Amino acid sequence: AQSVTQPDIHITVSEGASLELRCNYSYGATPYLFWYVQSPGQGLQLLLKYFSGDTLVQGIKGFEAEFKRSQSSFNLRKPSVHWSDAAEYFCAVLHNFGNEKLTFGTGTRLTIIP
Amino acid sequence: AAGVIQSPRHLIKEKRETATLKCYPIPRHDTVYWYQQGPGQDPQFLISFYEKMQSDKGSIPDRFSAQQFSDYHSELNMSSLELGDSALYFCASSLAFVGSGELFFGEGSRLTVL
């Protein structure tokens, strides 16, 4: 079964510093991968997604992610974080088109320090 | 743009009571998904409906039932509530078979069982 693993439960970075959140997937074929962000008490907002093609995907809010098949990874990056980026970040994998059931990773909580 | 609407946003119930959560998908979306997110947990898939028929089932307790109505809104009914049912319940909607793979999430309904 498809699954994603987020090895980092909690990450703290300084405002203005670069960020990389890790996500590893387990799936035999090409996975459909997503990154969602959840602010405290809020719903899930899609940052970006990867289906095929260019392995570097641009998303909203200045985020990007790179799909690396050789490493089974889909890490999320941002060159310079802002205090408003503090949130919970979830990597997710789609099971199949037509039934868009997502399996989420356990999430990474991002804390931004001044 | 219209988003997924969930009601109520907050609900407090006693053990063994019954609760009903409602979800209004984005207009013209034909698929609805329910997820449960416990405190500090990742969202877990409960159940989904496509064109008013159950399309997939996850880790949904037998005490829970759901349906999708002719206007595509969905309701999640939870009976004999337990303390462990306290969670944030998300509804998401999508338009099946268009290949976008994207689920649009509501802001969630927070259920507290006392």
| Contacts A41 to B, Cβ<8 Å | 110
Q: How many angstroms separate the CA of residue B40 from the nearest CA in chain A?
A: 9
A44, A45, A47, A60: best to mutate for the B interface, most B CBs within 10 A = A44
The DSSP code for A59 is: -
- Find residue A108's DSSP bridge partners: A89
- pLDDT tens by residue, B17-75: 999 999 999 998 888 999 999 988 889 999 999 889 998 888 899 999 999 999 999 99
Torsion angles phi and psi, residue A60, rounded to 5: -85, 165
| Contacts B106 to A, Cβ<8 Å | 43
The DSSP code for B51 is: T
Q: How many angstroms separate the CA of residue B25 from the nearest CA in chain A?
A: 14
What would you report as the CA-atom Rg of chain A, rounded to the nearest whole angstrom?
A: 13
| Contacts A46 to B, Cβ<8 Å | 102-104
pLDDT confidence of residue A42: 80
- Is A98 in CB contact (< 8 Å) with chain B? yes
| Confidence band for A18, pLDDT divided at 50, 70 and 90 | very high
pLDDT at residue A2 greater than cutoff 80: no
Are the beta carbons of A68 and A92 closer than 8 angstroms?
no
How far is the C-alpha of A30 from the C-alpha of A27, rounded, in Å? Answer: 7
